[in-house]
Amino acid sequence: MKGKMFFKSLSITGLSVAAALTIGSLAFNSNALAGSARDYISVVGSSTVYPFSTVVAEQFGKTAGFKTPKIESTGTGGGMKLFCSGVGVQHPDIANASRRMKKSECEMCDKNGVTDILEVKIGYDGIVLANSKKSAPMNITRKELFLALAASVPEPGGAESVVPNPYKTWKDINPALPAVKIEILGPPPTSGTRDAFVELVMETGGSQFPWIKALEKSDKDKFKSICHTIREDGAYIEAGENDNLIVQKLDANPNAFGIFGFSFLDQNGDKIQGTPVEGIVPTFEAIADGKYSVSRPLYFYVKKAHVGVIPGMKEFLKEFSSDKAWGNDGYLSEKGLIPMPDDEKKAFNTDVQTLKSLSCGDL
C-alpha cells in the first residue's frame, strides 16, 4: 500500500513538473537562445585536419585564457556548407578543409552574405600505401596502382578501349611484382582521403595512357568514369573512416595493403611500412620537400566578419600560425603534419596578420 501511495504522488508531481518544464523550455528556446552570444570559437570541417586543429585548440584553451574552441569533424564538404550558411553566432567561424575551397562553395558563401574569407594553408598531408612489416616492401608506380584499382582498365592487348579489370594478382600487372592477390583496404567515397587519392594517384596513373589523357580534353565524363571508378569485385575493401582499424587489419593480414594519412604510418612505424611510390619512400622529409608525389595541402577558412565579435579569434589565428605550432619542429609536426616551406609559411603568416580576403575568382 505504501508503494502505491509513493507511485501515486510520484506520478502526479512528475506530470506537472514535466508540463511546466516543457512550456518553460519552449518559451526559453524561442527568444533567449536565438540571440545569445557565443563565447567560444566554433570550427567545423575535414576529418583530416581535425587531429591538427584540435591540438592547436587545446593549447590555445590552456594558455591563452579563452575558452577552448569547439571542433566538429563533419568532412570538408559538410563543413563548407555549414560555414557558408551565413554570418552570425549560430554559424561556425572557421572551416577546415583537406582540399582548396571550390568556386561553387565560394559563390554559395557569397550568396549567403559570407563575403570576406581568409584562406590559410597549414601544411601538407601525405597519403600512403602501406603493408605489414612482416612482408617485403613492394616498389610500385602510380600507373600500376591505377591498373590494380580501377574498375575498368585499358585492354591489355593495347587497343584503345576498356575492359573490366582482369588483374587478380600483382604479378598480372607487372611480372616484377610478387604473385600475391591484390587486396587493398581504403577509405569509402565519402572520405576526403579517397577524393585526394583518386585525384593524385588514379588520375595521374590513368593519364599515363596517352589515349586516356586525350580523353581528359575531349570527353571529360568518360575520363572521370575511367579514372574515378574503383573496382568493386573484392580487391578494394572499403574499411570505413577508421584508419586505426585498417592498421590492425594490415597487421593481421601481411598480404594486404592499406591507404591512409601519413600520421597513422608515423604513429605505427613498428607495425607497418610505407610502400615506395615511384621509388620514393613516404617519409616526413620526402613529403616535406615534395619528392613524394602523393601529398595534398590542408587549409582552413576564416569568416572575417566574426573576427572581433567572437572572443579569441585573432589570438587563435596567431597560435595556429606561430612557429611553435606549424614550424618545422612545432607541435603539429609531432602529430604528423608536414610543414610548409619557409617562404610559404611566411606568406600565409602575413595573410593572417593582414586578414587578406579571398576572392572567388582566384579559385
Query: For residue 152, what is the enclosing H or E element?
Result: strand 152-154
Say how far apart CA 169 and CA 302 lie, in whole Å.
47
Say how far apart CA 194 and CA 197 lie, in whole Å.
5
Instruction: Decide if residue 3 touches another protein (CB under 8 A).
Output: yes
Per CB under 8 A, which of residues 236..265 are in contact with another protein? 241-244, 261, 263-264
Nearer to another protein, 71 or 122 (CB): 71
Site mask for another protein (CB under 8 A), range 191-230, x = bound? ----------------------------------------
From the CB of 11, what's the least distance to another protein, in Å?
5
Q: How many CA atoms within 13 Å lie on the side-chain side of 153?
A: 22
Of 99, 133, 291, 314, the one binding another protein (CB under 8 A) is: 133
Which residue, 329, 340, 250, 333, is CA-closest to 295?
A: 340
Nearer to another protein, 133 or 291 (CB): 133
Nearer to another protein, 34 or 355 (CB): 34
Per CB under 8 A, which of residues 177..196 are in contact with another protein? none
C-alpha cell recorded at residue 124: 601538407
Instruction: Decide if residue 267 touches another protein (CB under 8 A).
Output: yes
Say how far apart CA 248 and CA 246 lie, in whole Å.
5
Residues 80, 101 contacting (CB under 8 angstroms): yes
Say how far apart CA 51 and CA 98 lie, in whole Å.
12
**How many residues touch another protein (CB under 8 A)?**
61
Neighbours of 17 (CB within 10 A): 10
Q: CA 102, 262, 350 angle in degrees (round to 5)?
A: 50
From the CB of 126, what's the least distance to another protein, in Å?
13
DSSP conformation letters of 242-261: -HHHHHHHHHH-TT-EEEEE
Instruction: Decide if residue 15 touches another protein (CB under 8 A).
Output: yes
Say how far apart CA 163 and CA 157 lie, in whole Å.
11
Per CB under 8 A, which of residues 334..353 are in contact with another protein? 335-336
C-alpha cell recorded at residue 177: 611484382
Per CB under 8 A, which of residues 268..287 are in contact with another protein? 268-270
**3-class state of residue 125 by DSSP:** strand
Site mask for another protein (CB under 8 A), range 20-39, x = bound? -xx--x---xx--xx-x-x-
Per CB under 8 A, which of residues 54..113 are in contact with another protein? 54-55, 57-58, 61-63, 65, 67-68, 70-73, 90
From the CB of 63, what's the least distance to another protein, in Å?
8
From the CB of 311, what's the least distance to another protein, in Å?
14
Nearer to another protein, 165 or 263 (CB): 263
CA 169 to each of CA 177, 196, 256: distance values in angstroms, whole numbers, following the listed order: 9, 25, 12
Which residue, 193, 202, 178, is CA-closest to 97?
A: 193
Using CB under 8 A as the criterion, which residues of the chain lie in contact with another protein when the complex forms?
3-5, 7-8, 10-12, 14-15, 17-19, 21-22, 25, 29-30, 33-34, 36, 38, 40, 42, 44, 47, 50-51, 53-55, 57-58, 61-63, 65, 67-68, 70-73, 90, 133, 241-244, 261, 263-264, 266-270, 329, 331, 335-336
